[in-house]
Structure 1
Amino acid sequence: MVAAVMVTGGVPAMAAPAAVACTVTYQITNEWSTGFGATATIRNDGDALNGWNLTWTFPDGQRVTQGWNGTFSQTGAVVSVTNPDWARTIPSGGSAQVGFNGSKGAQNRPPTDFAVNGVACTGPNQSPSVALTAPTAGSTYTLPATVPLAATAQDSDGTVAKVDFFAGDQLIATDTSAPFTGSWTPTAGDHPITARATDNRGAATTSAPVMVKVLAGPAVLASPSAVSVRQGQKATFDVSLATAPSQPVTVTIARTGSADLTVSPETLTFTGTAKQTVTVSSAANGGELATATFTASAPGHSPASVTVKEIDPSTSDFSKAFLDQYNKIKDPASGYFRRFGDLLVPYHSVETLMVEAPDHGHQTTSEAFSYYLWLEASYGRVTGDWAPFKSAWASMEKFIIPAKADQPTNDKYNASKPATYAPEHPRMDRYPAVLDSSVAVGSDPIAAELKSAYGSDDVYGMHWLLDVDNTYGFGRCGDGTTAPSYINTYQRGSSESVWETIPQPSCDTFKHGGPNGFLDLFTKDSSYAKQWKYTNAPDADARAVQVALLAQQWATAQGKGSQIASEVGKAAKMGDYLRYAMFDKYFKRIGNCVGASSCPAGSGKSSDHYLMSWYYAWGGATDTSAGWAWRIGDSASHQGYQNPLAAYALSNVPALKPLSATGQQDWAKSLDRQMELLQWLQSADGGLAGGVTNSWEGQYGTPPAGTPTFYGMFYDPHPVWRDPPSNRWFGFQVWGLERTAALYRMTGDARAKKILDKWVPWALANTTTGTNFEIPADLEWTGAPDTWNPTSPGANANLRVRVVNKNQDVGVAASYAKVLLNYAAKSGHAQAKATGEALLTSLLSHQDSLGIATPETRTDYNRFDDVYNASTGEGPYVPPGWTGKMPNGDQIAQGATFLSMRSGFRNDPQWPKVQSYLDGGPAPTFTYHRFWAQAEIATAFALHAEIFG
């Protein structure tokens, strides 16, 4: 039996210098009827110690019988341990561990009064909490203006010494006593406002940023900022005032540029802020395509400009729809991006109150970056301008591919011992998972060749999640301020939904969370070290490779391939590292891998399943003198993550050939293996079932009798997670099959055609087009596939799928249209083409000023205030006795809710709708503008123009 208890507190035995600050972790490592073994780990949270004495008092008459790593003595219940000569010093932030065996009676409660050199180990100084209460998000001010500033701040183990207010990096006010207030005389522009609280011991916390707009004066607004119009036809844009005028205001619209473009009306009168529409007319003169800028201005108001470009009159409706959608997405006023210098970072959604895979709308994902690349590649095909594509790759490389400084100890990685085994568990209350070094892990066969090929120990892959605005306050490697910030959420097995996650920094320096940061929520070890760790979503990296293939073909056809050769080469490099997603999590042998101890370690490529698994991950110590780093693959592969087009590109296209010794041949085998998997998972109805795993329940367990296999791996109807079931979402069908259909269109792959020939009729039978279109939403599965026989595949007669309900998900509809259009272009399937076009036309019926969207009701938002339920295993789980804090002071402990750990949601402008629902009102309805969905729509329009326009 192993029990771990974190205890702090007590009364100091003697006075000591204030520089001593410590935390002690006491862990019972073994226990029997009359005795036990334990360790006590000192973490030095103060100045460096030169000589130390650890004391504690046993509460139940325990006696130390044998000790090590220190000189033990015991008087009554009081134990004293003095450092050995060889371990006199503990540096600031360092640790020392003593161990002992002892005798006990009926009880064996842990001590509660640890002290070092007479100073009670009360733990590190807890950072203060702070929340900005003024100004509010979205506020607009007109110069000259005075902006009120206010914040609330508390400190649980001291006092708040001051609160500083910042506009970006500029200090604009300071207050040293509550209530913390100030004022600011701003300059014009968009400003992120934050409050930073500093406590009496110097710890500081920065609030989530609040964006405010400051106008140079009364202003005219125009949107979108760019418009495309067919030569000889018309287009529109909107004009409004930023603030309501005290008397009517006349706005005049003037042109610079070609006289072939005119507007009507040329003057507008405003008495309020309501938008008015302006029509742009293009002259039908057949001349060169023209450009003009229209500037809307009024006395005493800042002007606004719209750039209008003529496009060829023969441009298809969908090609124009692409440009219209692109202009909306890239319009700075739309809010899809945050600008960092010359680079843009896409948000997950324009709206901030958003909980799904990311738990906040202004986070972003590697998925969003891959769609950003696709959007700009399509723009390059349409316009011949590849600068935006290059900028998108530069942004991805700077902000979501960890730099050397973010993964500093890869040179310590030992490929013969990639990571220490820890089992996954089907319930979160089995966490933290115990690290078990006795379980053999395989060797990593690609690390050396990757280093040889690219001259670096570092991994070139995207981490999956960024906090773009640093909303949670982790900052970069604990600095609390840098944005974007690498973060993570999911960590605890298949039952952990987004509603049960605990946000954590990807670089854990123990500044936030508990005494061991967030590490001991997830894994149990004898001691913990500050570390960095990243998780890659292979679906996103594979999409980036897929987009690079498209961009390379399009640019080459324009004679501009050299312009993006560098980015295409980097895509090949990313694909080389993406092979880590092909390996069993602990590099164990593929096939019939049952029993963590009995399943043999892999060698060479015997641990390679050649599929796109759910993730790969890598990490290491932040201390560059520490001698360790780790890498893992994943044993579970979902049908929706497979990308045979990326595998084709990396194995057959010279410009995308990986530089490593075996990369190209691995991807060639992966192409075949992925196509086999999709065929194996196809139901009798046509839909694709979930996936496969080499490690049942993530712990190399024994699957139910009769579970079918694929190359010895076990069928799983819902791989990776169960809440909600992972293959319930129709979106995974179309995400995966889009690239399968593109492979078929581009290469004529007969295996892809066979799968699509069966899938497309099933999907069409469950689709209604028109303004109120309906496509499948949730799927329900019964039965299982036949065990895979490569030479004689089964018919899967017992594997069935049912469409449970339908919806109007605009992003999924666009993905679905891509499948149909790619398939129709090669097969000539008339109904597929007609339905794909009809879906795109249906999407155009749902346009708004930001893009294309439909309302959705979020009944799952009743989980904001769920607490952990031990009987169902649902709700945020925090182990007994574990306590910690988010950077803003939100408590993490038993009884925590999703909302209590993210209290900033209460300040969101949309929160009252959710609070009303929690109070018993109706479920709230939102109209969300997800970046991936809007880019998917735009690129679906562009695809139609490419293959049919």
Structure 2
Amino acid sequence: MRKPALWAALATLLTGMAVAAPAQAAVACTVTYNKTWEGGGGFGASIAITNQGDALNGWTLTFTFPGNQRITNAWDGVPTQNGANVSIVNASYNANKASGAQWTVGFNGTGSGANPDTFAINGTTCTGPQQPQSLMVTPTSVSVPEGDDETFAVRLQSQPSSNVTVTTTAGTGDSDLTVASGTPLTFTPSNWNTPQLVTIAAAQDSDTTNGTRPFTVASAGLTSVTVNATESDNDGAQALVVTPTSLSVPEGAQAIVNVKLQAQPSGNVTVNPSAGTGDADLTLASTAALTFTPTNWNVDQQVRINAADDADDDNGTRTFTIAASGVPSVTVTATEVDDEAPSNSYLTEFQTQYDKIKNPANGYFSPEGIPYHSIETLLVEAPDHGHQTTSEAFSYWLWMEAQYGRLTKNWAPFNNAWNIMEQFIIPSTANQPGGQSTYNPADPADYAPERNLPSQYPVPLSTTVVAGQDPISAELQSTYGNKSMYAMHWLLDVDDVYGFGTGRGSSLSECGDNTKRVTYINTYQRGPQESVWETIPHPSCDTQRYGSSTGFPSLFIQGSTGNQWRYTAAPDADARAVQAAYWALTWATEQGNQSQISATMAKAAKLGDYLRYAMYDKYFKNPGCTSPTCAAGSGKSSSAYLLNWYFAWGGAMDGAWAWRIGSSHNHGGYQNPLAAWVLSPQGPSALRPQSPTADDDWAKSLTRQVQFYTWLQSAEGAIAGGATNSWDGDYQQPPAGTPSFFGMAYDPDPVYHDPPSNQWFGFQAWGMERLAELYYVTGDLKAKAVLDKWAAWAISETTLGSGSTYQIPNEMGWSGAPAASFNTEGGTPGPNPGLHVTVRTYTNDVGVAAGYARTLIYYAAKSGNAAAKATAKGLLDRMLLLKGSKGITVPETRGDYNRFDDSVYVPSSFTGTMPNGDTINSSSTFIGMRSFLKNDPEWSKVQAHLNGGPAPTFTYHRFWAQSDIAMALADYGSLFPNG
């Protein structure tokens, strides 16, 4: 991204000078002016311009402010202002605009007044605004408890030229449901993008029916929107809540019905499922009763329905009754889905794999319903214990449940997965003490350099290095009504094995909520060389109970003490959750069931809104920064429009201070262009972020991500590492000749070096799978060009052997660099004949193979590439021969487990203890701070290796890998129904 114009200095140089507009054959244009934020005596605006005339070889935009507004800084154009009159001249990089081109300039300012309404390009008056208008309503389905109310939000799609009145009227239906407030609503040219609430109330009555009523949201000249409201009875007469009441069950598989109570009982309630009349192939997996107590009454319990695998091709039905004494029973209708045709064999295998993952006896989920990183506990890779979990695991769970809904029309598990995610790994306001109320977007964080080695920590904070402005905080606060962040923290200690939670006697967790087992923790904090074997685990909320007398922060920042909290998001996981939501919406809409997931779609759009922090430099510095004292970003000038490695936020436990940072490092394997498309104006409206500038940000990100893949593509076809805006972690000058991407220096191993971050083929499979889905959905030809070359390379490096044997790339080596720097808006980077990849080792890893197969499946389904389809099928067929009782696995030898007794750097000034009493000091080792691992049933294999024996072999059931296998089977069966 280019640097913002230093307009104040330029204005001094240009004052009094006449700026001649270039001559043009025919100028015609439309302009839309949008105010993006306002408050504290300031405001921001963006001006969207469309060239409807001949090509422009330089342009000057002129307009007049109606009030006392003054521009303070701008980007994508160089402004001058004389009184109320403003001229914005093109920047050096965006002077040439073809006929039909669209572009945007933005600025921040002071003062107040009405928006300007007359604009000219090169002296010719433009028309506008031309942006289409519509009503944005979220959600479009609400459930309203009797005697209570529920709200939905309304805003306009674009800025109007005058006030717009919106009314909500009740249609035909249950008269207990009425509009309590919020009609009429008035939207003005200044508040059009601020959501306003309509409240629907449900009267308390004596009947036990759950009536419905539609409400029409309308405004003159605009298409109306219908919101469907359902009354939720709570008359003391207990009811069973059963979801769904109609479902499909593939032959040889199971489907799930969720059951809970509507109201809290005074004592235990026993619920009995039973089979009724119909197809005898459909049976209950268990007729055992479900018991609901005054404590767990509102927690779903499952009834599973089996469909026998038979020789007929009839899709029979059968009714099942869910009943409890004194409570109206509920009937569930199940339909058998025949799998006799060859096209359904992979779908059946999906259901088989899905059932293994969801089987409680197999141990994939905690008692709270949280997916573990793996079934096995003795596992060290990114997490350092198998019963931790990551945001990655949650995103794969959502994706798998979307596939389940695709095949069964049962969307309750998908909604449940998001609810569990929101409960445990998206920190609530209670888990963000102070709610970031003291966060100052003009001063987002104090600067601390990143160092190359753990031994160079702790590092000092500096208040003299100026951080840039956070340009999206104000609109997020305006949109959602508070300053709390909505994003997943990347790591949970699900079983509290470290003891940072309440498992060791405290009445509250570190973060002050009532979670008694599941604990937010972190590990990596000390530069690119810090592997998992060199980390020091610590709580995300530090109250000085453990570590040294001042907690853990002084290990990382000089002089830092406890009583603070901090969370870190892994943007690829949050983007994957949005990707999963898109497919859920697509498949539910095909079924006519989109209303069942509308509330979850609104949450996914919100997650995508906050995910924009992944676009920004760590300290909101401009791309191309080569010194800590480089110019701070303003407006959106510090956005790279890529998905960086992380963003983080935190503050004092008492709320006295708060901060937010992005990351300066961008990895090719983290990009998700499909999620960018979903959240852009091209995507479905149900997943449109509510903040006024969010969808435009994602439209830019979509273009930038595809360009990034192209710029990083090697001569062979693999995608190289990435780019950084902070060389050496301290905004240093990159070596001479280093090519750059929109100002950011090429880095073959961005973020971490032990092992090198782009050594693993899994990042290739993950990144290209998302690009393949974008190509499948949109037909993007630039995406296809990257995929054509990548797929040919990957297939050439794949071996399909006999039986269950296969080999795919594992570790790769790199040489060379991109051929040239690239910073052309809308352009396409050229080839890289001097950038090369070498496959060093090969693997039969099942998780990576599944992700790789899915890439080839989507690519082949759109392009018709026969080799890609055959390779994907060959991998799946061989993996199916590896089936076990808990999933599909292969044994793996862990030579790196000789590092269990590696030394971990701890400064001599730091001494402390872990919750179990393990000592933390300058003599600490990895296992010395995790002595509980020696009690693991598998530890003896590691100990034998440490004593000089061979490297141990393990078989792991990683949640993400087993989920991806299931989804690869579903994708192949659905996209290639004829096998």
1:571 aligned partner = 604
Q: Quick one: structure 1 residues 535 and 792, their matched pair in 2 at CA, closer, same or farther if it must change by over 3 Å?
A: closer
2:549 aligned partner = 515
**Alpha-carbon offset, residue 603 of structure 1:** 0.5
Conservation of the 8 A alpha-carbon contact between 2:814 and 2:836: yes
1:283 and 1:419 map into 2 onto residues whose CA distance is 64
2:520 and 2:673 map into 1 onto residues whose CA distance is 29
Conservation of the 8 A alpha-carbon contact between 2:614 and 2:644: yes
Q: Quick one: structure 1 residues 574 and 701, their matched pair in 2 at CA, closer, same or farther if it must change by over 3 Å?
A: same
Q: TM-score, normalised by structure 1?
A: 0.67
**Alpha-carbon offset, residue 455 of structure 1:** 1.0
SS in 1 for 2:973: helix
1:862 and 1:360 map into 2 onto residues whose CA distance is 16
SS in 1 for 2:520: strand
One of 520, 525, 529 as aligned partner of 1:486: 520
1:621 and 1:262 map into 2 onto residues whose CA distance is 56
2:591 and 2:450 map into 1 onto residues whose CA distance is 50
One-letter code aligned to 2:919: Q
Conservation of the 8 A alpha-carbon contact between 1:865 and 1:897: yes
One-letter code aligned to 1:638: H
**Alpha-carbon offset, residue 797 of structure 1:** 1.0
The alignment status of 1:400 with 2:428, answered yes or no, reads no
1:500 aligned partner = 534
SS in 2 for 1:618: strand
SS in 2 for 1:487: strand
SS in 2 for 1:316: helix
1:524 aligned partner = 558
2:868 aligned partner = 832
The alignment status of 1:767 with 2:798, answered yes or no, reads yes
One-letter code aligned to 2:673: P
The alignment status of 1:289 with 2:342, answered yes or no, reads no
2:895 and 2:383 map into 1 onto residues whose CA distance is 17
Q: Quick one: structure 1 residues 424 and 291, their matched pair in 2 at CA, closer, same or farther if it must change by over 3 Å?
A: farther
| Residue-by-residue CA offset, 1:457-505 (whole Å, 9 max, x unaligned) | 1111000000000110001317898221000000001000000000000
The alignment status of 1:898 with 2:931, answered yes or no, reads no
Conservation of the 8 A alpha-carbon contact between 1:473 and 1:481: no
1:434 and 1:842 map into 2 onto residues whose CA distance is 54
2:783 and 2:462 map into 1 onto residues whose CA distance is 42
Name the stretch that deviates more: 385-394 or 649-658: 649-658
1:922 and 1:786 map into 2 onto residues whose CA distance is 45
What is the correspondence of 1:729-768 to structure 2 with a 5 Å cutoff?
729-768=760-799
1:230 and 1:711 map into 2 onto residues whose CA distance is 50
1:366 and 1:797 map into 2 onto residues whose CA distance is 37
| Residue-by-residue CA offset, 1:370-424 (whole Å, 9 max, x unaligned) | 0000010000000000000000000000000000111122111001000000000
**Alpha-carbon offset, residue 452 of structure 1:** 0.6
One of 624, 646, 654 as aligned partner of 2:675: 646
2:937 aligned partner = 909
2:37 aligned partner = none
Conservation of the 8 A alpha-carbon contact between 2:715 and 2:835: yes
**Alpha-carbon offset, residue 787 of structure 1:** 2.3
1:289 and 1:436 map into 2 onto residues whose CA distance is 71
Cα RMSD between the aligned structures? 2.3
Q: Quick one: structure 1 residues 308 and 896, their matched pair in 2 at CA, closer, same or farther if it must change by over 3 Å?
A: farther
SS in 2 for 1:473: coil
2:615 and 2:309 map into 1 onto residues whose CA distance is 54
**Alpha-carbon offset, residue 919 of structure 1:** 0.4
One-letter code aligned to 2:451: H
Conservation of the 8 A alpha-carbon contact between 2:316 and 2:335: no
2:855 aligned partner = 819
1:683 and 1:445 map into 2 onto residues whose CA distance is 35
1:787 aligned partner = 820
2:620 aligned partner = 587
2:584 aligned partner = 551
One-letter code aligned to 1:670: S
Conservation of the 8 A alpha-carbon contact between 1:685 and 1:801: yes
Q: Quick one: structure 1 residues 660 and 918, their matched pair in 2 at CA, closer, same or farther if it must change by over 3 Å?
A: same
One of 478, 487, 497 as aligned partner of 1:471: 497
One-letter code aligned to 1:392: A
Q: TM-score, normalised by structure 2?
A: 0.65
How many pairs are equivalent?
Answer: 660
Conservation of the 8 A alpha-carbon contact between 1:637 and 1:692: yes
One of 685, 690, 693 as aligned partner of 2:721: 690
One of 443, 462, 466 as aligned partner of 1:436: 462
Conservation of the 8 A alpha-carbon contact between 1:290 and 1:310: no
One of 740, 752, 755 as aligned partner of 1:709: 740
| Residue-by-residue CA offset, 1:742-782 (whole Å, 9 max, x unaligned) | 00011100110000011011000000124111100000000
1:788 and 1:572 map into 2 onto residues whose CA distance is 34
1:610 and 1:489 map into 2 onto residues whose CA distance is 27
One of 882, 907, 911 as aligned partner of 1:879: 907
The alignment status of 1:349 with 2:382, answered yes or no, reads no
SS in 2 for 1:920: coil
2:489 and 2:747 map into 1 onto residues whose CA distance is 26
One-letter code aligned to 1:694: N
SS in 1 for 2:510: coil
1:699 aligned partner = 730
Q: Quick one: structure 1 residues 280 and 368, their matched pair in 2 at CA, closer, same or farther if it must change by over 3 Å?
A: closer
Q: Quick one: structure 1 residues 529 and 510, their matched pair in 2 at CA, closer, same or farther if it must change by over 3 Å?
A: closer
Conservation of the 8 A alpha-carbon contact between 2:496 and 2:517: yes
Q: Quick one: structure 1 residues 292 and 841, their matched pair in 2 at CA, closer, same or farther if it must change by over 3 Å?
A: farther
1:596 aligned partner = 628
**Alpha-carbon offset, residue 880 of structure 1:** 1.4
Q: Quick one: structure 1 residues 514 and 284, their matched pair in 2 at CA, closer, same or farther if it must change by over 3 Å?
A: same
The alignment status of 1:725 with 2:769, answered yes or no, reads no
2:637 aligned partner = 606
2:786 and 2:840 map into 1 onto residues whose CA distance is 22
1:379 aligned partner = 404
2:838 and 2:401 map into 1 onto residues whose CA distance is 37
1:820 and 1:262 map into 2 onto residues whose CA distance is 36
**Alpha-carbon offset, residue 704 of structure 1:** 1.5
Q: Quick one: structure 1 residues 563 and 434, their matched pair in 2 at CA, closer, same or farther if it must change by over 3 Å?
A: same
1:164 aligned partner = none
Q: Quick one: structure 1 residues 494 and 262, their matched pair in 2 at CA, closer, same or farther if it must change by over 3 Å?
A: closer
SS in 2 for 1:346: coil
| Residue-by-residue CA offset, 1:785-832 (whole Å, 9 max, x unaligned) | 122333563321110000001011100000000110111111110000
1:423 aligned partner = 449
Conservation of the 8 A alpha-carbon contact between 1:260 and 1:282: no
**Alpha-carbon offset, residue 634 of structure 1:** 0.6
| Residue-by-residue CA offset, 1:313-343 (whole Å, 9 max, x unaligned) | 3351110110000000000001000122xxx
State, as a whole percentage, how many aligned pairs show the same letter.
56
1:262 and 1:620 map into 2 onto residues whose CA distance is 55
Q: Quick one: structure 1 residues 518 and 234, their matched pair in 2 at CA, closer, same or farther if it must change by over 3 Å?
A: closer
1:660 aligned partner = 691
Q: Quick one: structure 1 residues 285 and 856, their matched pair in 2 at CA, closer, same or farther if it must change by over 3 Å?
A: closer
Q: Quick one: structure 1 residues 281 and 431, their matched pair in 2 at CA, closer, same or farther if it must change by over 3 Å?
A: closer
2:83 aligned partner = none
- Structure 1, unpaired ranges of 5+: 1-227, 236-253, 264-278, 294-306, 868-875
SS in 2 for 1:631: strand
The alignment status of 1:622 with 2:653, answered yes or no, reads yes
Q: Quick one: structure 1 residues 292 and 501, their matched pair in 2 at CA, closer, same or farther if it must change by over 3 Å?
A: farther
Conservation of the 8 A alpha-carbon contact between 1:913 and 1:924: yes
2:235 aligned partner = none
One-letter code aligned to 1:422: A
Conservation of the 8 A alpha-carbon contact between 2:282 and 2:336: no
2:531 and 2:309 map into 1 onto residues whose CA distance is 52
1:317 and 1:758 map into 2 onto residues whose CA distance is 31
2:130 aligned partner = none
2:743 and 2:948 map into 1 onto residues whose CA distance is 50
2:340 aligned partner = 313
